[in-house]
Amino acid sequence: MQNSLKFHPSRREACLGLGAALAAAACAAPESLLANGPEPAPKGWSMGDPLPFPVQEIYPCLHDGAIHLAGGFIAEAGRITGPTAAHHVWRPDGRCWQPAPALPAARHHPHLISFAGRLFVIGGFESPSAEAIWQAQSTGWILDEASGNWQAAPELPARSAEAVLLVGGTGLMHFMGGRSPAGESNASWQDQTDQTHHFVLDATDGRWREAAPCPTARNSASGAVIDGRLHIVGGRSVAGGNTAVHEVYDPAEDRWRDAAPMPQAQGGLAAAELGGKLYAFGGEFFNDGGGVYPEAWVYDPATDSWAAIAPMPHPRHGLGAVTLDGAIHVIGGALKVGGNETSEIVEIYRG
């Protein structure tokens, strides 16, 4: 694993605590991670191959038939140590998670996406020193898979992280919401502010342009594409806390509309599409001492309604969700609020 630095943050303004990481598992039997509890996995859930190390604040993606995970906050000996540049790939070939070309720099919250047949990494935060852990980035990279080298991606119009990145419309990548520096300072968590950014990258000319701004300024939301429309759900704002807001963007009209809100306000969650429906998992809250949501939900666009599904076997936040072969892989994250108990767990939901 590659790190830009190692540090032991005491708090992330109530959003990042000390980690108490689970021991890294190298392709242990998936069921072994459930051995500590007397109850079997809830209906529809099973264990996947664990990650090579505990990690949270990640945005994995599906690319060329494989799940790609790069960057994030990692933990060692029970404590968050900083961001990583490590890049791993999981394919359904029985070989577990395999190392892939590391990022040019360690980042947490980097957004991964498969776009125009190539793997992109966009934005996120770098941590060049213990005094500058939250340095938002506008740059990104594209993987040249033939050489294994990363090339520069088109630069975002603003330094941004904690956004939602989706592909929707013909040859368009959408970067929505998130947090950017409020002024010239760009080092600490307090320097960043919630945004309604909506930047669109066109594959034909490789340039970003602006589209209809997000109606709600928020970070740590998630989303997916259903029938060509982009759904953004949950998340939070610094001023207002967690939100249940659900908004849908139509690329053909460059227009947003409201949809049924989530049954519960959840920030730091993950979401994915499966079978034409939107699934949402986990998240965290900070009131009443803080905690992590076990609840998981499914949204049916045909009825504009949500329903509960079986809760996550291991509630987590700062996690990722990727659909592959008719199942949703729910990846990494932390078992407790903030950085506490950063995990290597992968769970699979099949409905």
Domain locations in the chain as residue ranges? 30-349
**Angle 85-323-104 from CA coordinates, rounded to 5°:** 15
Judge contact between 59 and 67, C-beta under 8 A.
Answer: no
Point out the residues of the chain with pLDDT beneath 70.
1-39, 77-78
| Tokens matching residue 236 | 């939070």
User: Which pLDDT score, from 0 to 100, does residue 153 have?
Assistant: 98
Edge-to-edge order in the sheet of strand 118-122: 111-115, 118-122, 140-144, 149-152
User: Which pLDDT score, from 0 to 100, does residue 22 have?
Assistant: 28
User: Which pLDDT score, from 0 to 100, does residue 4 have?
Assistant: 45
Q: What is the pTM of this model?
A: 0.92
Q: Computed from CA positions of residues 47, 53, 56, 59, in that sequence, does the dihedral angle turn out positive or negative?
A: negative
- Specify the residue for token string 């892989």: 329
**95 by DSSP, 3-state: which?**
coil
**345 by DSSP, 3-state: which?**
coil
The Cα–Cα gap between 45 and 55 comes to 21
**288 by DSSP, 3-state: which?**
helix
User: Which pLDDT score, from 0 to 100, does residue 6 have?
Assistant: 61
C-beta atoms surrounding 31 within 10 Å: 11
User: Which pLDDT score, from 0 to 100, does residue 7 have?
Assistant: 55
Judge contact between 113 and 92, C-beta under 8 A.
Answer: no
User: Which pLDDT score, from 0 to 100, does residue 98 have?
Assistant: 98
Q: Please give the CATH number for the structural domain made up of 30-349.
A: 2.120.10.80
Q: Computed from CA positions of residues 232, 233, 238, 239, in that sequence, does the dihedral angle turn out positive or negative?
A: positive
User: Which pLDDT score, from 0 to 100, does residue 80 have?
Assistant: 85
The Cα–Cα gap between 153 and 266 comes to 31
